[in-house]
Chains A and B, each alone.
Chain A
């Protein structure tokens, strides 16, 4: 099912007198093609969960429209939208067994019991928990609870599957495993899936389409790799990537991009103050390089190594450059680097928009 979000806005009234009302989502427009896995990504308070809840119908938008295929569902109650929702804390009914939990939506839809049981078993098989059907949620691990929650969301064969921070309550190892699992289930079922996360790595690794949000406003939409390679603005560049991008204060003058006194590259743009973003993997060690950095220490990771250095032009305390483990480094306090052009981004210092 295709999802169209038009001018979606949600404002919450002020909590206390004198406070301003809060705009959680501001004029959002997205088209989600059918059968895709979409990640809403952003720091907390960016409106991603509110968006998800508006898609589910639990929150009603202040203005704007939500269309499933061609049908306007903006005013439709949650249970009539044909959605499945997986909550951050799973929200399993603690007094029901796993099977009863999964069957619950079907029971409310007045589906005959034998059929409901059958479908619950199918859903349980899909998430591989068929041997846990008679347990209570309290007897399950976090990962198992997560699967039950997904099964409960899938059992009614929703047109849209919504997941709110699906991995945040899992430990690191389970997170990796579950994220593959979600991808697999999504592929197998072909259900249009929207999930919310604040973890860019998580989003990058499984999304077909990623929506980066900040303060209720969509910053960029696209395939993860495309966004990573071509960020629209400083925020997006900064938010994606581990280790994060290095950002320097710099200038464009006389057709050159300068960090301090060093000209790192040529440019056609006008003279202006800029931020220069350089991905950690964009450094090439070279004794005749264009950028010199004061080395603080070197971290050896096996496959590659990080040169952690200090620059007074960096907006962050340290600059991190990742280079191949084979590269022999000089034992010197200052190292020089050449830069990979496609890993360097320029942003206007005031608007923080990309200079292309």
Chain B
């Protein structure tokens, strides 16, 4: 775990840290990676990945629309809205 990797992870995660916190993080992530590497010695040859503990199948929803959308309530706690739109600093395309 090096500061370059941490930099990349911060960017991917849209997070930022000051210098001190970043140094601590390099150390902590190093320890965490050491911990998770403990599974590397398990022989998993030929074992299928398991994404869900139950062997269940995706249920399907009937295609019916519920037109009731209470925008006022959904936007009550929104940090910045105007004319029903959520506002963000200008998006450059």
Partners in one complex: no
Report A's interface with B, CB cutoff 8 A. Answer: none
Instruction: Spell out B's residues near A (CB within 8 Å).
Output: none
